[in-house]
Structure 1
């Protein structure tokens, strides 16, 4: 996509009242500028990398920006969960980041936190590295790896305050990826669509084995399309047994 095409793109809606009403927060002008720049760069890279099927401006705002920040809102903007861990200066990891969601919007909204974008696809990480330079986000770095692998590495195991995971596998798989990476007292945020009793049972059984607990399950509607979404908050209460996460591919093939 050339500069002329980019200049003709729809601008993202600012939605100040909706931001404030739903998240008790609204972006500063510079943050809005970064959101717009992020939108344009994602669309520009989309033709080669298939980063997202969501390209219309309002839909992008709702499903990539608002949705990304809804997950952290109870901790960052309203403290509804009464967590002892603050997002300010926290160390976060976004597992399976894809096009940079939710990690990049979180890094823009909470500029003093430190975000690691994890993905196993090298081409996507290469794109994100270029994107981060253009956005000038010094609080974000990338990592090309599998969650199962870094969960067994001392430089990553039990070092993160928060783990964010969206659209990556079943809930038990997400828990096995995320909880070994968290410090004691850390929080994993699982971004989900609909939520079932079967999923809750599966997750409860998994987190017990992984040293965690289900702290909260928050259901909500997205503000424009009124889609049903859930965020599940897992607390890390004790060290994960050393056998977790299991070898690459095993969590998906043999869920807890």
Structure 2
């Protein structure tokens, strides 16, 4: 039996971060406490995250994940894919706070998806269906292509790469919420061009600071406007190594 691991200071940090975002975590604190305990225990076996301290995990995994709720784009009973979920972020915090979301955390590393699946079960999150795989493959499969209402991702690649990976998975009218660090004009311009190439457009750019820590973040929201051309996404690895309208060496967080 793994004990819950959120100290009074950790609970206060979680509340402060959520309050800054206009969110109420009080009814869900025990789930977050359990998530912290499970993440720490899993990390000892599986090396899931470089973040070790309670403060870092609460701020940079829990609160940081919840910033994807800014703007209300994830409010609703949306079929949502978390692109590159890793140890389950932002999917697990979103599933806790927004039980109406139907979440598919996606990662290519099986041990991480196994952890997410086991953790969701431990937390009683029936709205989480983890998936092992790559976005390039899912984006060309009949089952997944054009089937999601929302896609969300945290800082997994440059914006043009994210656009090519995410937009093919969305239905027309669907929305992609990408959370990154500070964004250069060059990356934003390349992201706009890439979005247009694969059937969408950027509809919102929201720079902000992470609650409590003050770390710089940018939320970029893209809308799918028309079907993605059949050639996108390109085969596995190509979007990352040969990004649309963007030199690979220029990629940033």
Q: Normalised by the size of structure 2, how large is the TM-score?
A: 0.90
What are the ranges of 5 or more consecutive residues in structure 2 without an aligned counterpart?
245-253
Cα distance per residue 1:131-165 (max 9 Å; x no partner):
11111110001111110000011111111111011
Cα distance per residue 1:77-134 (max 9 Å; x no partner):
xxxxxxxxx6321100001100000011111111011000101001111122211111
Between the aligned partners of 1:95 and 1:9, the Cα distance in structure 2 is 27
Between the aligned partners of 2:22 and 2:189, the Cα distance in structure 1 is 32
2:36 maps to 1:39: yes
Shift of 1:18: 4.3
Contact 1:160 1:182 in 2 (8 A): yes
Superposition pairs for residues 119-134 of structure 1, below 5 Å? 119-134=107-122
Between the aligned partners of 2:5 and 2:199, the Cα distance in structure 1 is 51
Structure 2 counterpart of 1:27: 25
2:143 maps to 1:146: no
Structure 2 counterpart of 1:165: 153
Greater displacement, 60-69 / 38-47: 60-69
Contact 2:5 2:36 in 1 (8 A): no
Structure 1 counterpart of 2:235: 247
Shift of the 7–133 alpha-carbon distance from structure 1 to 2, 3 Å rule, reads closer
Shift of the 138–196 alpha-carbon distance from structure 1 to 2, 3 Å rule, reads same
Contact 2:15 2:24 in 1 (8 A): yes
**4+ residue stretches of structure 1 with deviation over 6 A?**
none
Superposition pairs for residues 64-213 of structure 1, below 5 Å? 64-75=61-72, 87-213=75-201
Cα distance per residue 1:156-204 (max 9 Å; x no partner):
1111111011131211111111000011111111110111011111101
Between the aligned partners of 1:87 and 1:148, the Cα distance in structure 2 is 27
How many residue pairs get aligned? The number is 242
Contact 2:79 2:149 in 1 (8 A): yes
Shift of the 150–222 alpha-carbon distance from structure 1 to 2, 3 Å rule, reads same
Among 202, 214, 223, the residue aligned to 1:235: 223
What are the ranges of 5 or more consecutive residues in structure 1 without an aligned counterpart?
77-85
**3-state DSSP of counterpart to 1:206:** helix
Greater displacement, 44-53 / 228-237: 44-53
Shift of 1:28: 3.7
Between the aligned partners of 1:196 and 1:214, the Cα distance in structure 2 is 15
Contact 1:13 1:57 in 2 (8 A): no
Between the aligned partners of 2:58 and 2:24, the Cα distance in structure 1 is 13
Contact 1:13 1:58 in 2 (8 A): no
Between the aligned partners of 1:56 and 1:10, the Cα distance in structure 2 is 12
Q: Normalised by the size of structure 1, how large is the TM-score?
A: 0.89
